[in-house]
Amino acid sequence: MAASRRKKKQRKEKFEKALTAVLCGIVAVLVLLAAVISLSEENGGALPTWQQLYSWFGVAAPVPHLPEEAAGAATKVHFIDVGQGDAVLLEQNGAFALIDAGEREAADGLMAYLQAAGVAKLDLLVMTHPHADHIGGMQAVLDAFPVDRAVLPDFAKAPMPTTSTFLNLLDAIREKQIPTVTARAGDVFPLGEGTLTVLGDGVAAENLNDISLVTLFEAPGLRCLSSGDGEKAVEDAVLASGADVHADVFKAAHHGSSTSNTQAFLDAVRPQAVVVSCGAGNSYGHPHSEALAAFANVGAQVYRTDTEGTIIAYVDKAGVLQMAVSRQEAA
């Protein structure tokens, strides 16, 4: 009888442990689902990045892995995966410039990436335009790294933003006494042995996308063009100016939107590679089919942060442009 009772007790204990494990698993799934739903709403319907989930749970993001084949290159352009947003790190012989900084929710992952990339200070911090998916992480950048100069768009060309993200960022720049410049077409900023040239300073518009700066990073063996969220009017203005927009690498404008990336502009850029920075499953449908068709029409290889993670364009020891991705696209 005693042995029988012990067996029953053991079975009961095993059942209770199994039931507890199942219930804990269900709770964990529900909590994770709540995090995904909450962050997706903040991302405009895009699935959250792992960095955003780490931040939501208050867990330190792991140090990212940088592609080994790019490690020793003097010239690199890092298209950092920040979900539905933009963050581009320019690197030339130990000098660094950051163009945009993604959403605030992606800031922890961005900081980890910058540290892993060897950033101790930023020679330039460039704001293409003041939308949250481009400036949300800048406050964290200012808190983490010394910045020699902030390059800003002309806010007078559009209604002045009133978001707390934007206003707090301006306050932080003033409090830290960071020298600022309102960029004008023709401005040239040195970066190591390279330069960052402003080809376009936006157009007067109600839409903040259209005050986006158009910049060209040039270094031995590489020309990389970036235009923030600039739409057709911005592209037309740059073409009309006669600026040489030809580039080896083009960061797709406005996350690959059909309101940008016109065929006329792509024909002038003639890129070997186009990088689309967008969030997985985003509600905007980025990149749009029209933009992808324009990229295909100029024979460009398309890379996407939503499927391939962070992407690095670099110049190898032979002076040849190479592209590295942090994860392989699923077959």
The rounded distance, in Å, linking the Cα atoms of 199 and 325 is: 28
Straight-line distance from the first to the last Cα atom of the chain, in angstroms, rounded to the nearest whole number: 60
The CATH T-level fold of domain 68-325 is: Metallo-beta-lactamase; Chain A (3.60.15)
- pLDDT of 3: 54
Under DSSP, is residue 92 helix (H, G, I), strand (E, B) or coil?
strand
pLDDT tens readout for residues 151-207: 999 999 999 999 999 999 999 999 999 999 999 999 999 999 999 999 999 999 999
Nearest to 303 by CA among 328, 331, 266: 328
In this structure, what token pair is assigned to residue 43? 């991302």
- pLDDT of 330: 42
The answer to whether 73 and 219 have CB atoms below 8 angstroms apart is no
- pLDDT of 69: 77
Nearest to 305 by CA among 126, 149, 115, 109: 109
Could you give the strand order of the β-sheet that contains 150-152, starting from the edge strand earlier in sequence? Answer: 180-182, 150-152, 124-126, 95-99, 88-92, 75-79, 311-315, 321-325
**CA dihedral (149, 153, 159, 161) positive or negative:** negative
pLDDT tens, the chain, 331 aa long = 555 555 555 565 565 566 566 555 565 555 555 555 554 555 455 556 555 555 556 544 455 566 777 888 999 999 999 999 999 999 999 999 999 999 999 999 999 999 999 999 999 999 999 999 999 999 999 999 999 999 999 999 999 999 999 999 999 999 999 999 999 999 999 999 999 999 999 999 999 999 999 999 999 999 999 999 999 999 999 999 999 999 999 999 999 999 999 999 999 999 999 999 999 999 999 999 999 999 999 999 999 999 999 999 999 989 999 999 987 554 3
In this structure, what token pair is assigned to residue 194? 């390279």
Residue indicated by tokens 């890092």: 78
- pLDDT of 137: 98
pTM: 0.82
- Exposed, middle or buried, 14 (CB in 10 Å: 0-12/13-18/19+)? exposed
The rounded distance, in Å, linking the Cα atoms of 51 and 32 is: 14
Radius of gyration of the chain (CA): 23
Q: Other CB atoms closer than 10 Å to residue 247's CB: what's the count?
A: 22
In this structure, what token pair is assigned to residue 6? 């012990």
Quote the strand ranges of the chain, DSSP E.
75-79, 88-92, 95-99, 124-126, 150-152, 180-182, 188-191, 194-200, 214-219, 222-226, 249-251, 273-276, 301-304, 311-315, 321-325
Under DSSP, is residue 251 helix (H, G, I), strand (E, B) or coil?
strand
- Long-range contact set of residues 1-6: C-beta below 8 Å, sequence gap at least 24: none
- pLDDT of 16: 57
CB burial string 46-61: b at 16+ within 10 A, e below: bbbbebbbbbbeeeeb
Question: DSSP letters of 17-30?
Answer: HHHHHHHHHHHHHH
The rounded distance, in Å, linking the Cα atoms of 288 and 293 is: 9
In this structure, what token pair is assigned to residue 125? 């911090």
Strand partners, 219: 222
pLDDT tens readout for residues 41-57: 554 555 565 555 555 56
